[in-house]
Amino acid sequence: MLRKAIFPLGGLGTRLYPLTVETSKALVRFLNRPLIEFTIIKLARQGITEFYMGVSGYYNYREVYDYFGEGLKIRAKYGLPDIRIRYQPNEESVGNADSVRIIMEYYDIEEDVLVAQADLLFDVDLADMYGHHLRRGAFMTIAVKYLVKEEELRHFGVADIDKDMRIKRFVEKPKHPSEVASRFINTGIYILSKEFRDFIQSPIIADYRRKGLMDFGSHIIPLLIDMGKGVYAYELKGYWFDVGTPERYLEAVFYLLKVLSPEDLEAKLITSNVRVQGKSKESMELHKQLQSMILNGDIKTDGDVLIGRHVKVGKGTMLVNAVIDNYTIIEEGVNIYRSVIMDRCRVGTRASIEESIIGRHCRIGKGAVVINSVIGDDVVIGDGAKLINVKVWPHREIPPNAHIENMIVK
């Protein structure tokens, strides 16, 4: 059984800007909890007891350590087995494989280990994947996913696989589909054999490190294949999302909101399509009010809706495929369509939000319109402002009645 998992958390998460300008991508709010919490819970329930966070950089370290600590809080919150969370020592890494090297050396890890990137959401049968790894005597096993859309291959590493699932060739982010003979992409989920530690400490890797060539997909996996090491593929049958961009974030949100059970979301159904979170007396009263307003037609809903703890929603509001995070206030006559509103926001009367992500502690003015946009934390959008295809960096203020399209506001 696998017992240890390493999460390399390096990188600035620039593809998710402005949500990650001041926030570790691992801690970005997702379905009203930190993104990486989903993965930790899923793996802990399949036998992983030790989690190693490859923190690098100020925000990655501060936020992840302050939220998770040594793991006691999350263990108590979810009734998990005896898990422990540890952190990369104060040593800078030059790539995700280098973060793994540092952790393996510092914590003296000499056993098979799972590695997963921090901006993933996935459903894996860990016992099945590990059995696949052992049966093939693999040096490294890569979880791969068949990509239906050929035009998206350029965003991922692509594996050319033989009939025994051995990877013959690996191309990182091919410029054209003609460069590859497969649609199986690297999901960023790996099982490394215990022999990997000797490899990662070898002279050739020391040379790679000096040159800054320590990315798994671009450097280490092709090197292993060239050296004749047994690199095998395991086809991931469950869901998998790389939520590294706002578009993929929203895609993952509304797919998982549809397929996850209320229990998975720590929620309960109050109508056929509306899930609410919270167990305190105050939350229960708000749930009753919401249910009554929905049944009376004072609030209209369609698609899948998730409402967090201590949320207030005004009359005349329309929620269509919406996620509303904790302590948010939605005033009267608001329209929210396929959007996420993070915690402690206030959305003014008659505002409209479509295909957008609103960061934490934002203020959306009366009659404001936000379409296909991403708003960073602690932003104020004035009354009557209209934003279309806009990204707004944290702590900015958009004047009343401003009309902004196709811009980045820093």
CA distances from 69 to 51, 75, 314 (A): 11, 11, 37
Q: What does the alpha-carbon distance between residue 130 and residue 148 come to, in Å, rounded to a whole number?
A: 26
pLDDT digits (tens, 9 = 90+) for 248-272: 999 999 999 999 988 889 999 999 9
Q: Is a pLDDT exceeding 70 seen at residue 4?
A: yes
Residues 6+ away with beta carbon under 8 Å from 94 = 209, 212, 214
Q: Read off the pLDDT of residues 17-70 as tens digits, 9 standing for 90 and up.
A: 999 999 888 899 999 999 999 999 999 999 999 999 998 777 778 888 899 988
Q: Do the beta carbons of residue 240 and residue 129 sit within 8 Å?
A: no
pLDDT confidence of residue 92: 85
Q: What is the pTM of this model?
A: 0.91
CB atoms closer than 10 angstroms to residue 407: 13
Mean pLDDT of 231-242: 93
More reliable by pLDDT, 362 or 181: 362
In the chain, which segments carry CATH 3.90.550.10? 4-257
Beta-bridge partners for 115: 6, 190
Q: Name the 3-class secondary structure at 324.
A: strand
Residue range(s) in the chain whose domain bears CATH number 2.160.10.10: 262-409
Asked if 286 and 151 touch (Cβ cutoff 8 Å), the reply is: no
Long-range contacts from 255-263, C-beta under 8 angstroms, 24+ separation: 256/31, 256/121, 257/31, 257/304, 257/306, 257/321, 257/323, 258/304, 260/31
pLDDT score of 316 more than 90: yes
Sorted by sequence, the CB contacts under 8 Å of residue 196 that are 6+ apart come out as 104, 113, 139, 140
Closest to 123 in 3D by CA, of 237, 34, 285: 237
Identify the pLDDT of residue 332: 97
**How many residues in total does the chain contain?**
410
pLDDT digits (tens, 9 = 90+) for 374-409: 999 999 999 999 999 999 999 999 999 999 999 999
> Which CATH class, in words, describes the domain spanning 4-257?
alpha beta
Tokens of 234: 């395991």
Sequence-distant (6+) residues with CB within 8 A of 3 are: 47, 48, 49, 50, 111
pLDDT for 175? 75
* Cβ pair 336, 321 in contact under 8 A: no
CATH number of 262-409: 2.60.40.1180, 2.30.110.10, 2.60.450.10, 2.160.10.10?
A: 2.160.10.10
Given this model, what pLDDT does residue 136 score?
Answer: 94
Q: For residue 177, what pLDDT band results from cuts at 50, 70 and 90?
A: low
**Position 333 pLDDT exceeds 90:** yes
What's the mean pLDDT when you consider all of the chain? 92
pLDDT-based confidence at 151, cuts 50/70/90?
low
User: Rounded mean pLDDT of 96-108?
Assistant: 94
Residue 366: per-residue pLDDT: 98
The contacts of residue 242 (CB under 8 Å, 6+ apart) are: 117, 119, 120, 156, 187, 188, 248
pLDDT (tens digit per residue) in 282-294: 888 989 999 999 9
pLDDT in tens, 198-216: 999 999 999 999 999 999 9
Q: Is 149 a residue whose pLDDT tops 80? A: no
Give the separation between CA 36 and CA 5, rounded to whole angstroms. 13
Examine the pLDDT at 308 and tell me if it is beyond 90.
Answer: yes
Strands 363-364 and 380-381: parallel
Of the candidates 316, 309, 353, the one whose C-alpha atom is nearest the C-alpha of residue 331 is: 316
